[in-house]
Structure 1
Amino acid sequence: MATDVVVPTLGESITEATLGQWLKKPGEQVKADEPIASLETDKVAVEVPSPVAGVIGELVAAEGDTVNVGAVIARITEGGAAAASATPAAENKTEVAKAEKAAPAEPAAAPSGDAPSGEESGSEQTLSPSVRRAVLEAGLDPSKIKGTGKDGRLTKDDVLAAAKAGTAKSAPASAPTAAPAPAAAAAPAASGGRKEERVRMTRLRQTVAKRLKEAQNTAAMLTTFNDVDMSAVIEARAKYKDLFEKKHGVRLGFMGFFVKAAVLAARDVPSVNAKIEGDEIVYHDYVDVSVAVSAPNGLVVPVIRDAQDLTVAGIEKTIGDFGKRAKDGTLKMDEMKGGTFTISNGGVFGSLMSTPIINPPQSAVLGLHRIEDRPVVVKGQVVVRPMMYLALSYDHRLIDGREAVTFLVALKNAIEDPTRLLIDL
């Protein structure tokens, strides 16, 4: 008996998704609740579990297809043995696309002794588009890289780490003794031709592009800068990080300090934590901070709820959990919704300065940047201090320049004197 696999409910107001990746192929055995496909929605990737134990039969949809909630994407034969040769058109289309991307410069006819094993071929099939592209660009052998993602799957970070370490290099293919004419004709294009690759935007990237452009078209955006001396926070972190991690089970970072400082500054300047709705201004008596964290498919922005009620330890635990689950692809829809203020830390990637874009309907976003030693004047003396540039982008329709500067100064004062965070000053 065949059981249909349908697209599950994806959350409020979400009616469709993109089939990002098949995790199983026709003829493979699956267990009940074992993930068989990955869907990309406007916000996160969602895995589709098998409703029953059995064998993958027909794949109704192909990777890259747009599928509606409730639509059938595959069928599973319960307890039976499906014929792997009966591969449907959707699977054929997926395999052809993968073959074209996975071996663009391979000879047309490789010697029989160089054929990949079934295990290596299987691992190739489970690579996501972004991971596959990173593997090709770095010239690595994915079978030699240890995956840290869910069920041991490779993530983009795994590939980048292997490339940086210089491991898992792909062995060059041995040239056949008598290359056929088609391969010889293709050689000039492979060695000297300029290449282009056309990759369909993920649904997440489409949504990000749409919302960011919407912000530029709607808000009167302006960015105000300041800098902050990180000496006190660095000293406090160095002094207490071991005790902090031992007690709370999480590392003490800088984001905990900045989230607390932003909450404190937002009390003085409530418009930074407000939004425009029609011809009204909506003020919040709570601060839900959206924090950008890195995921295999790009940055995602989960929300720290009621940040005003959390300690630095509570904030660090929440951010650490978000980061781990972002890499595993297990963040939930509800964790990505809402938010009254955003903090984006481009400094972890080496950014010196930027003008972040507002995340509608929010009215402000704080950009953090890298810490570097710079000469500054302190009490008439030129000294070297670890400095960071801060950038506050805001909707000038709601927030005046005076308010933006006041917010940044309050945040700067709290970071340069962390005692203010303890006494609510």
Structure 2
Amino acid sequence: MPTEVKVPTLGESVTEATIGELLKKVGDTVKIDEPIASLETDKVAVEAPSPVAGTITEFRVAVGDTVEVGAIIAVVGESGAAATAAASEAPAAAPAPAPAPAQAKAESIDAAQTLSPAVRRAVLEHGVDPSTIKGTGKDGRLTKEDVIAAAEAKKTDVATPASAPAPAAAPLATGERREERVKMTRMRQTIAKRLKSAQDTAALLTTFNDVDMSAVMEARDKYKDLFAKKHDVRLGFMGFFAKAACLALKDVPAVNAYIEGDEIIYHDYVDISVAVSAPNGLVVPVVRDCQAKGFAQIEKDIADFGKRAKDGTLTMEDMKGGTFTISNGGVFGSLMSTPIINPPQSAVLGLHRIEDRPVVRNGEIVIRPMMYIALSYDHRLIDGREAVTALKIIKEAIEDPTRMLIDL
């Protein structure tokens, strides 16, 4: 008996989503709880699983469609002996023309893994064999980037035979100009609205400082192997900055507060939103109760968020709340920036790349690994003195990590 696959509950206050990708096609068999479609919400991507095992007989949506919770995505029919018997009673179809070689390659591994429409298109365009490519997507699925990379590698590996005449140079394209119009994903639309709303609502201002990273880098070099062996996680910089932020937010509570109507909400805890990159944009999962956690647990939480952001398995619950944000543009090479706050939060700390620069120490010019740090804040709530003080506390804690151990 046919079973309808519906849009699942998406989270508190989330009522609709966009069809980001169809993971199966009509005629494919599915197992119980196997995902058949990827849905994009305002914050995360979620998957719609099949409630039964069977064969997909119909899709009632297409990529890009906006669907509400409970809407029908697809219909799954029976499989197994009953389906086989039904197929045997159907009239024989005329023989279909043989597929093109590239198409045959794309279809040859459908039993092993499902290719998304974008990946199938890339396979056909580049003429590569998908069964020879190792997927980097969730559960080993192929991505469009995997196909393109394999195609480029194939071009590099194929050498021109010595006896073959040199091919004539291809004529240079002159005056060719192309444009591509792509609809914004729901997540990107939400990011755009929230950032613009923050600029329109808050009185944004940014204060800067620079930090000598020598002490933290020495501590990491000295203890990174022991730390990884004991805690099974890498000792990164984010743990240091998270604990330094806890000191600053304790001493300057306005930086850890919200404005709600005509009231200020102060928090006696520190939930840090950590900006990480996901396939569809920047997301900010929350490391909760940082003031009570050690370096190891903070680093484990951040590493887990980074992995799940890449896999697209972050949940709405992971994103809820947050009293302060840390955004590390340095991993992409940023020297300096003015980050935008994440409403309803009132401040965000921006980290940047570390580079050797000449500085004066004890009257002498020396080379030190320096980082610019920036604190953007809502001037409606946080005065300049408070913002500068908070950033100075973070700077001092990073330059002398002992302060984080004795709560200075």
TM norm. shorter chain > 0.5:
yes
Report the secondary structure of 2:371's partner residue: strand
Matched residue, 1:72: 72
Distance 1:158 1:353 in 2: 32
Deviation per CA, 1:49-87: give whole Å up to 9, x if none: 11000001110000100000001110000223698xxxx
Report the secondary structure of 1:362's partner residue: coil
1:329 aligns with 2:312: yes
1:45 aligns with 2:28: no
1:314 shift after superposition? 0.6
Flag the 1:11–1:224 CA change in 2: closer, same or farther, 3 A.
Answer: same
Q: Give, as a single letter, the amino acid of the residue that structure 2 aligns with 1:146.
A: K
Report the secondary structure of 1:61's partner residue: coil
Matched residue, 1:177: none
Q: Give, as a single letter, the amino acid of the residue that structure 1 aligns with 2:141.
A: R
Distance 1:154 1:352 in 2: 34
1:301 aligns with 2:301: no
Report the secondary structure of 1:338's partner residue: coil
Match of 1:167 among 142, 146, 153: 153
Distance 1:221 1:159 in 2: 43
- Superposition map of 1:232-381 within 5 A: 232-381=215-364
Report the secondary structure of 2:331's partner residue: helix
Distance 1:156 1:228 in 2: 40
Deviation per CA, 1:387-417: give whole Å up to 9, x if none: 0000100000000111111001100000000
Unaligned runs of at least 5 residues, structure 1: 84-110, 173-186
Flag the 1:18–1:170 CA change in 2: closer, same or farther, 3 A.
Answer: farther
Distance 2:193 2:138 in 1: 30
Unaligned runs of at least 5 residues, structure 2: 88-98, 159-169
Distance 1:114 1:262 in 2: 54
Q: Give, as a single letter, the amino acid of the residue that structure 1 aligns with 2:153.
A: T
Matched residue, 1:148: 136
1:154 shift after superposition? 3.4
1:296 shift after superposition? 1.6
TM-score w.r.t. length of structure 1: 0.83
1:140 shift after superposition? 9.5
| Farther-moved stretch of structure 1 (328-337 vs 227-236) | 328-337
Matched residue, 2:187: 204
Matched residue, 2:115: 126
Distance 2:120 2:238 in 1: 32
Residues 145 and 168 in structure 1, CA contact (< 8 A), matched pair in contact too: no
Flag the 1:362–1:120 CA change in 2: closer, same or farther, 3 A.
Answer: farther
Match of 2:377 among 355, 374, 394: 394
Flag the 1:191–1:50 CA change in 2: closer, same or farther, 3 A.
Answer: farther
TM-score w.r.t. length of structure 2: 0.86
Q: Give, as a single letter, the amino acid of the residue that structure 2 aligns with 1:39.
A: L
Deviation per CA, 1:91-135: give whole Å up to 9, x if none: xxxxxxxxxxxxxxxxxxxx9566552437859973476x899x7
Distance 1:38 1:403 in 2: 44
1:117 aligns with 2:105: yes
Q: Give, as a single letter, the amino acid of the residue that structure 2 aligns with 1:21.
A: E
1:48 shift after superposition? 0.7
Flag the 1:413–1:139 CA change in 2: closer, same or farther, 3 A.
Answer: farther
Report the secondary structure of 2:153's partner residue: coil
Deviation per CA, 1:215-244: give whole Å up to 9, x if none: 000000000000000000000000000110
Residues 157 and 296 in structure 1, CA contact (< 8 A), matched pair in contact too: no
Deviation per CA, 1:160-180: give whole Å up to 9, x if none: 9x48x96355999xxxxxxxx
Matched residue, 2:96: none
